Structure 1
């Protein structure tokens, strides 16, 4: 019989699973190394979750956190490094569970050659305060979402795409144009050099100065080491191409129900 479930990750899938498990009377240990909501914290606008009016990612994350509080589910702010049989291992301790759900989401695809200082980041929330000129590298939804958010807060925003093709959805591209984002198609970033308080960004066509660089060239599954048959991967951590908060929430609820009803 499953009495305690460890949920690794407090993004949409993890929060949904934790709440549903608690409703079934199952004890939950919820681990999160950063903040509730995961990548949603970066979103300028969330419009693809039908039950709610469009809102910012931060607003939606606060709602998720409120639901955890309502259900008396505490966050264990520790990074999980491994799951071994029925033990969840963090950098600080070990926790015994009957089953584990891994909802760790994704990690950014990195460009180590451009990581020349702390002002080169992979998430919008890591952009240094006071950034007046932001360069963004990418052509997908996350890049355009960050570009719109930066422009609307008053930053001059330069968006670089490696090709002529833009992968972002049309509404985001239209919002970026309306917000005044400076789009540079087919202009790859070759080098990034710290230059006093700025970054010197050399592309295939020109040289630019910016306060920070946000790299958004894709995501890939992020999962700890797993050596257990009492474990399931849920949400974006599955590595599927369809990554949406609403899908992750449904996945978390389904997995929790299977645990509760099938044991």
Structure 2
């Protein structure tokens, strides 16, 4: 029986683990991949206090090393369900069951897929959702980046380190990214734009991507744009499927909480990118992790 089980080891989960373990609580952190979550897929982090610039995987490692110092236990597992038994909670993975007095959900979210023909077929063969992971495979190649928000434009800039040309395909006639990021993209001679357009199909030969069919949303005109790879950044989907039967998610799948990170189930908290909120950043995840780590301590003390 742990004091708290934290599901997810991104910046939110690791911060919650740090605060809870420093309060002398027994903490188990369950993660389905490498600690760091989306930070591992981020090139340069330039808006985290204390660093002018730091690579996402490096920041992940620093956070994890800090958490380990205070005795947090770590386990690999893919959570299937949580159960509320009143005075204790149960977390079921694919092959194990864990019990705790409290649960903190910090599962985050993933990049939304386009849902077009060829996307699944060419996944890992030219279609990617992670410039940091796959950018080096496209040296001197022509790439398409789909999207117009911060992630899309930042990753397009990162890809110019390797690619000969990067073309941003955006469904609107202006970007949604922060102004400072837009300015960098417009000033980069390797980056060009296809405005008011969406990808209708990803095409290729038996082995790899060779391009994409692109439709102009204003004229309905379709043309095939040649490319050696396609990077997709068109929004996010919450990783909350295991919790939908517990009643803590809304219709879109996001978890709703109060300002103290409490869900509708007493003793169950949610933090980070899986929450229903406006700003999904490392800084907000860390702040929420600190709040939840302190709240579980108070909850346990109040229910002794």
Residue by residue, what CA displacement relative to the aligned partner does 1:81-111 show, whole Å, maximum 9, x if unpaired? 2111211111221111111100111122222
Larger Rg: 2
- Structure ranking higher on relative contact order (CA contacts 8 Å, 6+ apart): 1
Aligned equivalents of 2:143, 2:31: Cα separation in 1: 29
Helix, strand or coil at the partner of 1:163: coil
Instruction: Kindly indicate whether residue 152 of structure 2 is the aligned counterpart of residue 130 of structure 1.
Output: no
Aligned equivalents of 1:125, 1:88: Cα separation in 2: 32
- Change in CA separation of 1:154 and 1:75 when aligned onto 2, cut-off 3 Å: farther
- 1:200 is displaced (CA, Å) by 2.5
Aligned equivalents of 2:284, 2:62: Cα separation in 1: 17
1:150 paired residue number? 159
Helix, strand or coil at the partner of 1:135: strand
- Change in CA separation of 1:124 and 1:71 when aligned onto 2, cut-off 3 Å: farther
Instruction: Kindly indicate whether residue 230 of structure 2 is the aligned counterpart of residue 213 of structure 1.
Output: yes
Contact 1:138 1:162 in 2 (8 A): yes
Question: TM-score with structure 1 length normalisation?
Answer: 0.90
Q: Which moved more, 1:222-231 or 1:11-20?
A: 222-231
- Change in CA separation of 1:247 and 1:83 when aligned onto 2, cut-off 3 Å: same
1:225 paired residue number? 242
Q: Which moved more, 1:204-213 or 1:240-249?
A: 204-213
- 1:30 is displaced (CA, Å) by 0.7
1:1-263 pair list within 5 angstroms: 3-85=2-84, 86-114=89-117, 115=119, 116-118=121-123, 119-127=126-134, 130-131=137-138, 132-179=141-188, 180-195=190-205, 196-204=207-215, 205-226=222-243, 227=246, 229-263=266-300
Q: CA RMSD in A?
A: 2.1
Residue by residue, what CA displacement relative to the aligned partner does 1:224-254 show, whole Å, maximum 9, x if unpaired? 4333643111111112111111111011111
Q: Which moved more, 1:17-26 or 1:107-116?
A: 107-116
Q: Which moved more, 1:74-83 or 1:222-231?
A: 222-231
Aligned equivalents of 1:97, 1:47: Cα separation in 2: 37
- 1:126 is displaced (CA, Å) by 4.9
Contact 1:68 1:74 in 2 (8 A): no
- The structure 1 segments of at least 4 consecutive aligned residues displaced by more than 6 Å after TM superposition are none
Aligned equivalents of 2:199, 2:233: Cα separation in 1: 12
Residue by residue, what CA displacement relative to the aligned partner does 1:118-151 show, whole Å, maximum 9, x if unpaired? 2323333453752233221000001011111111
Q: Which moved more, 1:137-146 or 1:234-243?
A: 234-243
Question: TM-score with structure 2 length normalisation?
Answer: 0.79
- Change in CA separation of 1:113 and 1:50 when aligned onto 2, cut-off 3 Å: same
| Paired residue total | 262
